[in-house]
Amino acid sequence: MRKRNKLILTIIVVVIVLGIFTPILLMFPSMFKDKYEIFAYPWKLFPSTWNFDNLSRVFFLQYTSLEVNFLQSMLITIIVASIAVVFSLTINMIAGFAFARLKFYGKTFFWIFVLFTMFIPGITILITSIKVVSFLGMIDTLWVLIVPGLVSAYNIFFFRQFYLGFPKEIDEAAKIDGATNFQIFKMIYFPMSKTPMVIIGASIFMGYYNSYLWPTLTISHERKELYQIMYIIRMLFSDASSIGYGSVLAATLISLIPPFIIFMIVQKYIREGIALTGVK
């Protein structure tokens, strides 16, 4: 019975993995086809002639009248996502620690307020958010891509639940030794938060890296050097009839490299057996 269940589980995992990676594997040879061979009938997996012009268009040419460089856009997107990870983790971890371990006036009210924001769809406050950042003079700046998404009720909730698993005796012993609340967080809780930091950090990075709507609405043509990678890919897709879908596929596959690296980092921690457990 155990062997049969293991076999069934293995088959299910293999089917899921094939369903995820088959489209990506099919994209790789297709990006070396010319714009006519991609839709040729009968369809062939590999191109008749390996055409590297699609890659050269992605790396070296400009696109449309906006003159946007793909690699520059990819770099600025990675920079934005990386900065956001650092600031967001810092803010949400401290907030989670405060709600889990500290006592302060109005704690219950503020916690309910934080939880309430989790049930508000982001699209419903989109116009209001744009008005706020416009009033603050953040439109067409690097900070408009970073600051609005730093605080997350879900991330605060995640860290709070993690810190609630720590024994109270740890705090009491540290306070007897004269440690302040910030020192307790810095010297005890922060070093032991490696696993949730990796999990939440990867989620934050992917959220910023894949962002499309917000950068599109807050970055104008005058600051095209701040265009994010998803907007560039969408622009390439719109112009695919002239540059060819092979270039779109090439740009898409290249853009998958950073998320793939992040995925491998997270998997490394999982393989090493680091799990969200209590403190010994």
* CATH code (residue 157): 1.10.3720.10
Whether residues 22 and 140 fall in one domain: no
Per-residue pLDDT, 279: 43
Same domain, 115 and 234: yes
pLDDT at 177: 82
Instruction: Return the pLDDT at 54.
Output: 77
CB atoms within 10 A of CB 185: 21
Q: For residues 107 and 4, state if they share a domain.
A: no
CA distances from 128 to 122, 143, 146 (A): 10, 17, 17
Same domain for 47 and 13, yes or no, is no
Per-residue pLDDT, 220: 85
* Domain membership flag for residue 278: no
Contact 233, 17 (CB under 8 A): no
Neighbour-count burial of 200, counting CB atoms closer than 10 A to its CB (0-12 exposed, 13-18 middle, 19+ buried)? buried
Angstrom distance (rounded) from CA 37 to CA 48: 8
**pLDDT at residue 62, rounded to an integer:** 57
Q: Say yes or no: 21 and 39 in one domain.
A: no
Residues of the chain with pLDDT under 70: 1, 60-67, 240-242, 269-280
Q: State the pLDDT at residue 131.
A: 92
Same domain, residue pair 118 and 144: yes
Residues 108 and 198 grouped into a single domain: yes
- Residue 265 in any domain: the answer is yes
In this structure, are 169 and 56 located in the same domain? yes
262 assigned to some structural domain:
yes
- Give the pLDDT score at 241: 67
Copy the structure tokens of residue 204.
Answer: 């934050």
pTM, full prediction: 0.85
Q: How many domains does the chain have?
A: 2
Q: Which domain holds residue 4?
A: 1-29
Task: Mark whether 11 and 131 lie in a shared domain.
Answer: no
Q: Which helix (H) or strand (E) holds 127?
A: helix 126-135
279 domain-assigned: no
pLDDT given at position 92: 95
Q: For 65-89, give one letter per residue: b (16+ CB within 10 A) or e.
A: eeebbbeebbebbbebbebbbeebb
